[in-house]
């Protein structure tokens, strides 16, 4: 039988031992000349192995495939146009960081590639221990140790190349280099535009073309103009616009940003696959990491940053909250003054304005929270937080990468759960999805601010911070339980990407903050408005309530009695008597409103479910608020605004604070209520995305039942335990 033909290209940095390996493989069977059209030496050799006639092409040594030099252009053109069966990247094992940059660019070309860790003996002599298995798993490519000048590992290298050429599998999608959110979004947009313009004969990988166009690669522009013709211009114009947007976000050329992020990816690989007993040169990012990821200091610093985030969110947010609160009060008074007394005015003032207004005043807190999260992401600290949590996550059979969706859950659980798609193992993905709802999303923050601000004003920021920490702790304990019982198995290997620290741009921070906060504002005119109207309707009807007392007559008697007292009183007693009269009248009105709420439809619902919540210190009004919170957690506050703020003449949120204090709620029961909100059933949108991402409605229903059960048990322990200790 005739032998099969196989072409192997050798790539690598200058001085990586590439030519030595080439010479050892091919011996005297070499041809030396120049590449067509350029004065760069071209070497080819032939060998026979395992029934194959193998042509080995020694590509010019380069540090990257960015076309800055003739050597780089030649190397890249050969891989792109000649399509060798396998590319072997010769890597200097003693200088991994520099070598892996070219290696990852080869991976982005979507060719079949093998990494040959050459000079393995020198790396070992320098105190480096490289785990080839882990590196292979992390990168999705075969990794072979070689010592070129001794001929060690070359047989295994060629055999691996033969096996790979016969394999149909490429680099797994999840093992590719991933850039920051903004750059990945630009790549996806440009890739979509490109795919619309090309057919099946297009010879290049669309993602790679999109990356090169964002890097403003002139040679790639020429190539797609040649391959596509006129449609290429729209693709190039889209790339130019996206480059402009990225430059506006980062204040740097996208190529520089992407280079930094590639090195961040490389740093993660080295951290996972290499142990080094010698002191290496460190750059600024590594110097910072010596402190921020220190085994003793790193975690306390992380806890401090999270605590500071919630302190800032609560304390700084209090000022604009007051301004918006006053604005809502003025709007309520203005609308109430325009309309005659009746159902329509009641709907607008006590339903729409009171319901939506009770939520919109928390917009400053939401903005500040998202600003801090964007700050963590843009500086590169978010990845360090995942690194710090890596050991803790390993306790539940996960890894630090799973903590990134959990951190995102501080903003919103829905995109956080969708972010678990980056996890390779299905069991890891489901486990992370199951515990992510315990991360306190921004929708719960208004509830904490109302209750903590009312009952723990002096230390509200710390109370809120402790709630967030508790959510993390419950998530970790749940993960340990599920890994032991429901989702047994080992976590998949992954790259802990540590991008370089960057000075965040204010413009970029504001854009990220606003993009996420828009979702909060959209809820104002949608689900929260509808929810507020529904709650108002249920609390307003039926209209023909039979009161247990004649409140109108009582108010009349109070006025009559105090009119006589004021008439007979000394001048210095008049104001005090008027205040007493007004307080008694207000108290009577509040009792009337409370009875009206109790006998309304929503009151009847509340009394039906009240026995379930009574053991955890939550009355029927809190019970109804929690019930409506299943739709969206923000509605908990608007429902409380309708049910607790019983003073119909006061639309400002201060009425809710005072009404909560007068309602019989104690700091202990308020804490139990906050705990329940923290841990119980996620919102309807989160349940839907759990079903979507797990592919099973059963997992979604299980999550609903489990989180609600955990919430009730935790609130019960806190409330009943506190009561026994005399803290109630």
Tell me the pLDDT tens digit for each residue of 514-572.
Answer: 777 777 677 666 777 777 788 778 878 888 888 888 888 999 999 899 988 888 888 88
Tokens standing for 546? 């039979």
Share of the chain above pLDDT 70, in %: 90
- Is the pLDDT at 507 greater than 90? The verdict is no
Position 151 pLDDT exceeds 50: yes
Q: What is the pLDDT of residues 204-236, one digit of tens each?
A: 888 889 999 999 988 889 888 888 888 889 899
Q: What does the pLDDT read at residue 501?
A: 76
pLDDT at 474: 93
* 503 has a pLDDT exceeding 80: no
Whether the predicted pLDDT of 445 surpasses 90: no
Angle at 661 between CA 660 and CA 666, to 5 degrees: 100
Look at the alpha carbons of 573, 575, 578, 583 in this order and tell me if their dihedral is positive or negative.
negative
For residue 580, pLDDT beyond 70: yes
Question: Could you tell me whether strands 128-130 and 86-92 are parallel, antiparallel, or unpaired per DSSP bridges?
Answer: unpaired
pLDDT of 239 over the 50 cut: yes
Termini Cα distance of the chain: 89
- Rounded Cα distance between 430 and 425, Å, is 9
Query: Does residue 229 sit in helix, strand or coil?
Result: coil
Q: What's the CA gap between 417 and 425, in Å, rounded?
A: 15
Query: Residue 709: is its pLDDT beyond 90?
Result: yes
Provide the whole-model pTM: 0.65
Mean pLDDT over 162-172 rounds to: 79
Q: How confident is the model at residue 649 (pLDDT cuts 50, 70, 90)?
A: very low
| pLDDT tens digits, 428-437 | 889 999 999 9
The pLDDT value given to residue 424: 62
Chain-centroid distance, C-alpha 7: 44
Q: Residue 126 above 80 pLDDT?
A: no
Task: State the chain's mean pLDDT as an integer.
Answer: 83
The alpha carbon dihedral of 164, 170, 174, 175 has a sign of positive
Mean pLDDT of 637-657: 61
Q: Is 75 in contact with 62 (CB distance < 8 Å)?
A: yes
The pLDDT value recorded for residue 279 is 47
Greater confidence, 379 or 532?
Answer: 379
Q: Where do the CATH 3.40.50.300 domains begin and end in the chain?
A: 4-175
Radius of gyration of the chain (CA): 33
Higher pLDDT, 175 or 460: 460
- Which CA distances in Å does 552 have to 540, 556, 557, 588, 590? 19, 6, 9, 9, 12
Higher-confidence residue of 467 and 511: namely 467
SS3 state at 357: helix
Cβ-based neighbours of 389, under 8 Å, separated by 6 or more = 400, 403
Topology of the domain comprising 4-175: Rossmann fold (3.40.50)
Average confidence (pLDDT) over 381-401: 78
**Matching residue, tokens 């596509």:** 228
Q: In 3-state terms, what secondary structure has residue 557?
A: helix
pLDDT over threshold 50, residue 652:
no
Query: pLDDT tens, 253-281?
Result: 999 889 888 888 888 888 888 887 544 44
- Nearest CA-CA partner of 43 in 57, 54, 29: 57
At 613-630, the pLDDT tens digits run 999 999 888 898 898 888
pLDDT in tens, 308-330: 887 888 788 878 887 887 888 88
In 3-state terms, what secondary structure has residue 479? helix
In three-state secondary structure terms, 145 is strand
What does the alpha-carbon distance between residue 74 and residue 78 come to, in Å, rounded to a whole number?
Answer: 6
The confidence score (pLDDT) of residue 496 equals 60
The region of weakest confidence among 159-173, 451-465, 647-661 is: 647-661
| pLDDT exceeds 60 at position 645 | no
Distance, in Å, from the CA atom of 364 to the CA atom of 257, rounded to the nearest integer, reads: 31
In this predicted structure, what is the pLDDT of residue 39?
45
Structure-model confidence comparison of residues 341 and 270, the more confident one: 270
Candidate from 272-286, 322-336, 444-458 with smallest mean pLDDT: 272-286
Token representation of residue 54: 């193998």
Give, for 49, the enclosing helix (H) or strand (E). strand 41-49
CA distance readout (Å), 298 to 293, 394, 480, 695: 4, 17, 23, 38
CATH 1.10.287.1770 residue ranges for the chain: 181-281
Exposed, middle or buried: residue 691 (CB in 10 Å: 0-12, 13-18, 19+)? middle
Whether residue 351 has pLDDT greater than 90: no
What is the arithmetic mean of pLDDT over 569-576? 86
Domain 181-281: CATH architecture, name and number where available: Orthogonal Bundle (1.10)
pLDDT of residue 650: 42
Q: What is the pLDDT of residue 145?
A: 92
User: What value does the mean pLDDT take over residues 387-403?
Assistant: 77
pLDDT band at 602 (very low <50, low <70, confident <90, very high): confident
């Amino acid at each position: 039988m005739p032998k099969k033909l196989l072409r192997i290209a050798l790539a690598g940095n200058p001085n990586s031992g590439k030519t030595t390996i080439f010479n050892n493989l091919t011996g005297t069977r070499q041809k030396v000349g120049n590449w067509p059209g350029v004065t760069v030496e071209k070497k080819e050799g032939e060998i026979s192995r395992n029934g194959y006639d193998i042509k080995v092409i020694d590509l010019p040594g380069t540090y990257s495939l960015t076309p800055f030099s003739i050597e780089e252009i030649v190397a890249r053109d050969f891989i792109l146009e000649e399509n060798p069966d396998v590319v072997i990247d010769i890597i200097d094992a003693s200088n991994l960081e520099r070598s892996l940059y070219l290696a990852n660019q080869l991976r982005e070309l979507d060719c079949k590639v093998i990494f040959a860790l050459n000079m393995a003996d020198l790396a070992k002599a320098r105190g480096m221990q490289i785990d080839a298995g882990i590196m292979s798993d992390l990168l999705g490519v075969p990794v072979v140790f070689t010592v070129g000048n001794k001929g060690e590992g070359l047989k295994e290298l060629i055999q691996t190349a033969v096996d790979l050429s016969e394999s149909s599998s490429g680099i797994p999608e999840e093992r590719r280099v991933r850039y920051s959110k903004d750059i990945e979004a630009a790549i996806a947009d440009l890739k979509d535009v490109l795919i619309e313009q090309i057919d099946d004969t297009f010879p290049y990988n669309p993602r790679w073309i999109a990356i090169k166009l964002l890097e403003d690669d002139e040679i790639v522009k020429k190539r797609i103009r040649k391959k596509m013709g006129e449609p290429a211009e729209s693709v190039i114009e889209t790339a130019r616009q996206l480059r402009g947007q990225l430059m506006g976000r980062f204040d740097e050329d996208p190529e520089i940003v992407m280079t930094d992020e590639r090195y961040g990816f490389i740093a993660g690989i080295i951290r996972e696959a290499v142990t080094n007993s010698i002191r290496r040169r460190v750059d600024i990012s590594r110097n910072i990491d010596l402190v921020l990821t220190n085994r003793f200091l790193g975690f306390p610093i992380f806890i401090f940053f999270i605590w500071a985030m919630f302190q800032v969110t609560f304390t700084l947010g209090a000022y604009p909250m007051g301004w918006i609160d006053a604005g809502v009060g003025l709007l309520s008074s203005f609308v109430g003054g325009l309309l005659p007394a009746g159902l329509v005015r009641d709907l607008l003032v006590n339903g729409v304005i009171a319901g939506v207004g009770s939520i919109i005043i928390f917009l400053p807190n939401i903005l500040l929270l998202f600003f801090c999260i964007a700050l963590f992401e843009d500086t590169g600290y978010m990845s360090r937080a995942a690194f710090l949590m890596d050991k803790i996550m390993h306790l539940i059979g996960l890894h630090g990468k799973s903590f990134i969706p959990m951190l995102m859950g501080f903003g919103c659980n829905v995109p956080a759960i969708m972010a678990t798609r980056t996890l390779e193992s299905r069991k890891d993905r489901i486990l992370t999805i199951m515990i992510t709802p315990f991360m306190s999303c921004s929708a719960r923050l208004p509830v904490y601010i109302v209750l903590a601000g009312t009952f723990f004003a002096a230390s509200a920021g710390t109370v809120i911070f402790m709630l967030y920490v508790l959510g993390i702790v419950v998530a970790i304990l749940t993960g340990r339980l599920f890994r032991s019982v429901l989702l047994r198995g080992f976590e998949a290997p992954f790259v802990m990407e540590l991008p370089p620290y960057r000075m965040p741009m204010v413009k970029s921070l504001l854009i990220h903050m606003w993009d996420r906060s828009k979702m909060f504002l959209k809820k104002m005119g949608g689900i929260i408005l509808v929810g507020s109207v529904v709650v108002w309707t249920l609390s307003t009807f039926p209209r023909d309530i039979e009161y247990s007392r004649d409140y109108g007559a009582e108010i009349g008697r109070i006025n009559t009695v105090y009119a006589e007292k004021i008439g007979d009183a000394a001048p210095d007693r008049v104001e005090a008597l008027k205040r007493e009269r007004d307080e008694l009248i207000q108290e009577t009105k509040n009792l009337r409103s409370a009875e009206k709420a109790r006998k309304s439809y929503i009151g009847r619902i509340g009394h039906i479910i009240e026995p379930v919540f009574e053991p955890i210190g939550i009355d029927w009004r809190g019970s109804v608020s929690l019930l409506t919170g299943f739709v969206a957690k923000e509605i908990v506050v608007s429902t409380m605004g309708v049910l607790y703020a019983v003073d119909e003449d006061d639309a400002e949120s201060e009425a809710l604070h005072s009404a909560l204090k007068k309602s019989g709620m104690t700091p202990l029961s308020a804490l139990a209520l906050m705990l329940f909100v923290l841990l119980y059933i996620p919102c309807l949108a989160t349940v839907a995305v759990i079903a979507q991402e797990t592919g099973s409605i059963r997992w979604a229903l299980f999550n609903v039942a489990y989180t609600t059960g955990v919430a009730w048990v935790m609130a019960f322990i806190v409330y009943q335990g506190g009561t026994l200790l005399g803290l109630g």
